[in-house]
Structures are given as C-alpha cells and as structure tokens.
Amino acid sequence: MKVPVWNPAVEFLEREALERLQLANLRKTVAWALKTPFYRRRLAEVGLHRPEDIASLRDLRDIPYTTKEDLRESYPRGLLAVDLEQVVRLHTSSGTTGMPTVIHHTQADLDAWTELVARCIVATGASRRDVFQNMTNYGLFTGGLGLHYGAERVGMLVIPASSGNTSRQVQLMRHFQTSVVHATPSYLLHLHSALMDEDTDTSPPSLRKAFIGAEPHSEETRRKIETLFEIEAYNSYGLSEMNGPGVAFECLYKTGLHLWEDAYLLEVIDPDSLRPCAEEETGEIVLTTLQRQATPLLRYRTRDLSHLVGGHCPCGRSHRRLARIKGRSDDMLIVNGVNVFPSQIEEALMKAPEVGTNYLIQVEKRGALDRLAVKTEVHAALFAGDARVLSDLRERIAERIRAAVLVKPSIELHEPGSLPVSEGKARRVLDLRPAF
C-alpha cells in the first residue's frame, strides 16, 4: 500500500538528522524566549543567557518547567516574544477555573501550524478529493480554525459548520456528500442517535472518515463510532498552549499518534517525582515548541497522561508515537483512597453492547465514605421487557467497572436521550463532594 504523505522530506527524516534539526530549532526558540521578561529571569537562574549556551538536546533538562499557572500569571502579554505589530491572531483558554491562558501567533506561526495540520490530515488517507465538514466550535477554541486552515491547505472542500445544530449538520452532510468530519467523540455518538430518530439511514453513504479529539476517550468508544457509522475514525492530540490540533495524529495504520518532532520536543515524566519515564511507561507529556515565534514555551507541563509506543510504524515515519491520551493528571478522582481515571470507567462501560451513546460519572459523599455512581443510557427496548434483564445488566456493568478501578459503583440505567447532551466537549464527571 502506498503511504499517503504531505511532506516526505521531514516526515521520513532519519533520526540523527531529525535531532540535528531539533537542536537548531531549540536554539532559535531559546532566542525568542529570551526576549520575554518571564524567560529572561527564569533562564538566568540556571545560567542560560544565550542560545549558544544550549550545546545539545540534553541541555534541555537544565531548563525549569513551565506550567499553566505561569501562563496565567503572565496574562495578557508577559510571554509575548515579538512586537505586538507582528501578531496577527491570539487564542485563549476559557478561563472557567481562573485567569485564562493566552497564546499569540505571528503569520509565520499560523503558516507553520497549518502545515502540521495538513500533515495530519494526509496521513489518514484524506485528500483534496474529500469534502470536509468541521463540526467543532470556531473562535477562541483552537480546534475549529486549526483543522479548517489545514484542510484548506490540503485542498479539501471545507464546510465550516461549527458545533451544534444537529439537524443542520445532517442536512449539510447529505446535501454536499460530506466524506470526512471533525468532531468530539461524544458529539459523533449524539449525532448517530439523532440520525436514528430521524430515519433508518444512520450512515450517510458518502461519509468515510472521522477525526476525533478534544476529550479523552477509550478505544471502545472509537470502535463504537466506527461500527455505528461504518467508517474509519482517527485519534488526534493537541492543546491550545501548543497551537491546538496538529501536535500528533494517527496515520492509516493506527499504531499510535505520530508527534511532529521538528515542531515539538517531547518528554514523558513521572508527574510526582519528575523523573523521565521509560518507553511504554505512562507519565505526563511535557512539550517544548520549536517553531513558534510569538509565544515560545519551554518544557510545558501539559498534565496529559500517555506513553511512548515502542517499535516502528509500518508507514515508515521517523517521528515517535504516543499512545492514546489516558486522561489528565489533574482529572484523576480519588474515591475512598483509590485512584480512578474516568477513561477507565468509560472503557469498561463501552464493552457492554447494550450501552448507548451517553453516560455520566457522579461522585458524592455519603457519611464518611465516597459514593461512585455511573449513569448510562441503554437501548430503549430493554425497558419494555423483563425487569430482571435490567437488574442483571446493572450488576454486570458494576462488576466490570469494579474489576477495572477496584471500586464498585451504583449503576443507573436511562432511556436514550434522557441524559444531558453537550455539543462541545462532553462533561462526563460530576464531583459533588464538598471542597475542604
């Protein structure tokens, strides 16, 4: 099979040449960073005053980590490394949990970001012959504009549908023969439910691929999307601090997410001890930008958890691969002393064929103990039959989750469409315990 590729000169670069390119780009990034008050002070503390002080990639470990709190404290322009006249766009986080983070972009930054997204799209086998419907939010959220410009660079016909308005999404798909979509996994599952409510044609015949991301999800959820729509779904990884989408993407072989190492220096560390993790050991992803001028970031702690995939991908690309994102270190729940990741619950839940497309994890305090409850939609036909069937299903799901997370939850079964639906990032966890 011929491997689809956007930029073969970089994507298949031999490892030694790739590391030489990384070192050159790291020195440029340090030069940009030294123009900001924040990094001038931070780097001076470790004796780094010039880009030439970086002798090898190993010297990266001498640089302190950058955190989300650093970005918030530098709001709005404390990390700006160029004159404001050179900035052509900015994106910010929502700021729902505090001061937002802001990332500025020059035109060169946007061009480099667009090239990375184009690489991602083509690696999945999509091409200029496809009609691309972007079902994610446009605006300060990076997912919409990031994929939009990347798809246009590839030459695809782009439908900027944005998020929500499901009936309109379906209409656009059918009228314009959409072949590739970009959406959150939860929204695609909701979209399928809407198609089932509308008629029996639940898989638009032109649709062949989906790019999914923006929220952690299990392999079982991806397979459910592929089965329901009879398509191929590809995982993506990005975060607004690193531009947005385009950091890493699966190729046709789906052996992990290729992280573009000419644009990002990757580390995986233990989030507690900060020691480097071995290959295939799960830890926190740490990234350094290598191509961004306006807002360079050195050793940024993403809080996202994953591990490096060993071996080589059949596609032949030399850039290292990440496993799917397990979750975030700050999303972990502690339930009666046990560490529980929502992704573990989802993985166990989606193995039950009776389970529908929406669920909610709820934690509350009952006396001195925590109570874990999982609410999930199941097929409507189950409610018309023997009550014992529902009881058996509740017990089977509870035992499957207990085996995965060592905590047995109570299970609530709901009819399709009865749980709240999010048209953006799904809110899967509701922690009702009092804060101390």
Sequence-ordered alpha helix ranges (H) in 55-203: 68-73, 107-123, 142-154, 166-176, 185-198
Q: What is the 3-state secondary structure (H, E, C) of 69-84?
A: HHHHHCCCCCCCCCCH
Q: Is the model more confident about 189 or about 301? A: 301
pTM for the full model?
0.82
Q: Given pLDDT bands bounded at 50, 70 and 90, which one contains residue 199?
A: low
Q: What is the mean pLDDT of the chain?
A: 91
DSSP label at 207? -
Cβ-based neighbours of 69, under 8 Å, separated by 6 or more: none
Beta sheet of 257-259, edge-to-edge order: 157-159, 131-134, 180-183, 209-212, 232-239, 244-250, 257-259, 321-322
Coil, strand or helix at 130 = coil
pLDDT range class, residue 385, cuts 50, 70, 90: confident
Tell whether the model's pLDDT for residue 201 goes beyond 80.
no
Q: Give the pLDDT score at 96.
A: 43
Tokens of 7: 């930029």
pLDDT tens digit string along 400-419? 998 888 889 999 999 988 88
The runs of H, that is alpha helices, within 199-286 are 219-229
Omega before 76 within 30 of 0, i.e. cis: yes
Count of H helices and E strands in the chain? Answer: 11, 20
Q: Quick one: 148 exposed, middle or buried, by C-beta within 10 A (0-12, 13-18, 19+)?
A: buried
Find out whether 154 and 127 touch, Cβ atoms under 8 Å. yes
The pLDDT confidence band at residue 436, using thresholds 50, 70 and 90, is very low
Q: Could you give the residue ranges of the DSSP H alpha helices within 248-355?
A: 342-349
Separation between Cα atoms, residue 248 and residue 260, nearest integer Å = 6
Q: Evaluate whether 253 touches 83 at the Cβ level (below 8 Å).
A: no
Q: What value does the mean pLDDT take over residues 351-370?
A: 86
Which residue in the block uniquely carries the two structure tokens 């650093």? 70
Pairing mode, strands 209-212 and 232-239: parallel
Going from the N-terminus, what domains does the chain have, and what CATH number goes with each?
1-329 (3.40.50.12780), 333-431 (3.30.300.30)
Count of all residues that appear for the chain in the document: 436
Alpha-helical (H) ranges within 289-386 are: 342-349
Sheet holding 264-269, edge to edge: 264-269, 283-289, 300-306, 327-328
Q: Residue 86 carries which DSSP code?
A: G
For residues 232 and 203, what is the distance between their CA atoms, to the nearest angstrom? 12
- Which tens digit of pLDDT belongs to each residue from 74-91? 999 999 999 999 999 999
pLDDT at residue 94 in the model:
59
Quote the tokens at residue 67: 């955190």
Q: What was the pLDDT predicted at 93?
A: 76
- What pLDDT was estimated at residue 341? 79
The percentage of the chain sitting over the pLDDT mark of 70, rounded to a whole number, equals 96
- pLDDT band per the 50, 70, 90 thresholds, residue 326: confident
Give the pLDDT band (50/70/90) at residue 98. Answer: low
Cα separation, 352 vs 409, in Å, equals 16
Q: Residue 113's closest CA among 251, 234, 238?
A: 238
Average pLDDT over residues 233-242: 95
Q: Are 348 and 401 in contact (CB under 8 A)?
A: yes
Enumerate the H helices of 307-369 as residue ranges: 342-349
269 burial type by CB count under 10 A (0-12 exposed, 13-18 middle, 19+ buried): middle
> How confident is the model over 284-314, as pLDDT tens digits?
999 999 999 999 999 999 999 999 999 999 9
Burial status of residue 284 (CB atoms within 10 A of its CB: 0-12, 13-18, 19 or more) = buried
At 125-163, the pLDDT tens digits run 999 999 999 999 888 889 999 999 999 999 999 999 998
Q: Reply yes or no on whether the pLDDT at 27 is more than 90.
A: yes
pLDDT at 368: 67
